[in-house]
Structure 1
Amino acid sequence: MDRWQLAIVRDDIARAEIADLPERAPAEGEVEVAIDLVALTANNITYAALGEKTPFLGPDAGYWDFFSDRDEPGRLPVWGFATVTRSVADGIVEGERFYGYWPLASHAVLTAGNVRDSGFSEATPRRAALPAPYNQYTRLAALGDHRDSDHDWWPIYRPLFLTGWLIADQFADEGDFGAATVIVSGASSKTALGFAQAMKARGQGPRLVALASSRSAGFTADTGLYDQVVDYGAINTIAAEGKVAMVDFAGNPAATRAVHERFGDNLAVDMKVGITHWDAERGGAPLPGPRPIGFFAPGRMQKRSADWGAQGLRERSEAAWLDFMPTARRLTAIDRRVGAEAALAAYRDAVAGRVDPRAGLLIEP
Structure 2
Amino acid sequence: MQRQSWAIDIDRDDITQAELVSDPPAPLAPGEVRVQIDSYAMTANNITYAVFGKPSGLFGNDQGYWDFFAERAAPGRLPVWGFATVTESAADGIAVGEVFYGYYPMASDAVLGAGHIGPGGFTDVTPRRTALPPVYNSYQRITALSEYRPADHDYWPVFRPLFLTGWLIADQFEDEGDYGVQQILIASASSKTAIGLGFSLAQRVDRPETIGLTSAANVEALAAEGIYDRVVSYDQIMTLNATTPAALVDMAGNGAVTRVVHSHFGSQLQASIIVGKSHWDAQADVEGLPGPERQGFFAPGRIQKRVADWGGAGFGQKVAAAWLDFMAVAPRLARIDRRAGAVAALAAYHEMLAGKADPKAGLIVEP
User: TM over 0.5: same fold?
Assistant: yes
2:160 is the counterpart of 1:158? yes
Q: Distance in 2 between matches of 1:139 and 1:63?
A: 23
Give the 5 Å matches for 1:21-170.
21-170=23-172
- SS, match of residue 192 in structure 1: helix
The separation in 2 between residues aligned to 1:94 and 1:3, in whole angstroms, is 18
Cα offset, 1:228, TM superposition: 2.1
TM-superposed deviation, 1:282: 2.4
Give 1:222 deviation, angstroms: 2.5
* Among candidates 319, 342, 345, match of residue 343 of structure 1: 345
- 1:104 and 1:316 map into 2 onto residues whose CA distance is 30
In the alignment, which of 274, 279, 300 is matched to residue 281 of structure 2? 279
List per-residue Cα deviations over 1:11-34 (Å, max 9, x = no partner).
Answer: 221221211112112111100000
Tell me, in whole angstroms, the C-alpha distance in 1 between the residues paired with 2:217 and 2:57.
32
Partner of 1:196: 198
* Cα distance in 2 for residues equivalent to 1:339 and 1:170: 39
Q: How large is the RMSD of aligned CA atoms in angstroms?
A: 1.3
Superposition deviation, residue 204 in structure 1:
3.2
Match of 1:295 in 2: 297
Secondary structure of the residue that 2:237 maps to in structure 1? helix
Letter in 2 for 1:57: F
Relative distance call for 1:215 and 1:9 in structure 2 (3 A) is: farther
Q: Which moved further from structure 2: 278-287 or 351-360? A: 278-287
Matching residue's letter, 1:296:
F
Moved more, 286-295 or 315-324: 286-295
Q: Which runs of 5+ in 2 are unaligned?
A: none
Q: CA-to-partner distance for each residue in 1:168-220, whole Å, 9 max, x for gaps?
A: 01111111110100010111111110000000011231111111123433432
Change (3 A) 1:170 1:322: same
Which is further off, 29-38 or 16-25?
Answer: 16-25
The whole-number CA distance in structure 1 between the counterparts of 2:164 and 2:45 is: 12
Q: How far 1:240 moved relative to its partner?
A: 4.8
Contact 2:242 2:264 in 1 (8 A): no
- Report % sequence identity: 54
Instruction: State the one-letter code of the partner of 1:357.
Output: P
Is the 2:267–2:292 contact (alpha carbons within 8 Å) kept by the matching residues of 1? yes
Post-superposition offset of 1:164? 0.6
Q: Does the 8 A contact of 1:181 with 1:240 survive in 2?
A: no
Q: Which runs of 5+ in 1 are unaligned?
A: none
Q: CA deviation at 1:284?
A: 5.6
Give 1:36 shift: 0.4
Shift of 1:224: 1.1
- In the alignment, is the contact (CA less than 8 A) between 2:35 and 2:84 conserved in 1? yes
Q: In structure 2, do the counterparts of structure 1 residues 52 and 277 end up closer, same or farther at CA, with 3 Å as the change threshold?
A: same
Counterpart-to-counterpart distance in 1, 2:287 and 2:366: 45
- Deviating beyond 6 angstroms after TM superposition, the runs of 4 or more aligned structure 1 residues are none
Q: Secondary structure at the match of 2:328?
A: helix
Residue equivalent to 1:328:
330
| Distance in 2 between residues matched to 1:189 and 1:152, nearest whole Å | 17
Cα distance in structure 1, aligned partners of 2:270 and 2:75:
40
Task: Give the match for residue 182 of structure 2.
Answer: 180
**Does the 8 Å CA contact 1:6/1:18 hold for their aligned counterparts?**
yes
Structure 1 residue 340 displacement after superposition:
0.5
1:263-278 maps to which residues of 2 (within 5 A)? Answer: 263-278=265-280
Using the size of structure 2 for normalisation, the TM-score is: 0.97
Which amino acid in structure 1 is aligned with residue 295 of structure 2?
A: I
2:184 partner SS: strand
Amino acid at match of 1:346: A
Is contact 1:39-1:363 (8 Å) kept? Answer: yes
C-alpha distance in structure 2 between counterparts of 1:216 and 1:22, whole Å: 44
SS at match of 2:216: coil
AA of the residue aligned to 1:217: V
Deviation at 1:54, TM superposition (A): 2.4
User: Shift in Å at residue 283 of structure 1?
Assistant: 5.0
Amino acid aligned to 1:154: W
CA distance in 2, matches of 1:294, 1:167: 11
**1:265 is matched by which residue type in structure 2?**
S
Q: CA deviation at 1:57?
A: 1.6
Change (3 A) 1:219 1:357: farther
TM-score computed with the length of structure 1 as normaliser:
0.97
Q: CA deviation at 1:317?
A: 0.5
User: How much has 1:229 moved relative to structure 2?
Assistant: 1.9
Instruction: Check whether the contact 2:9–2:77 (CA below 8 A) recurs between aligned residues.
Output: yes
Q: Deviations over 1:292-320 (max 9, x none)?
A: 11111111111111111111100011000
Aligned residues: 365
Q: Is the CA contact 1:58–1:130 (under 8 Å) kept in the aligned structure 2?
A: no
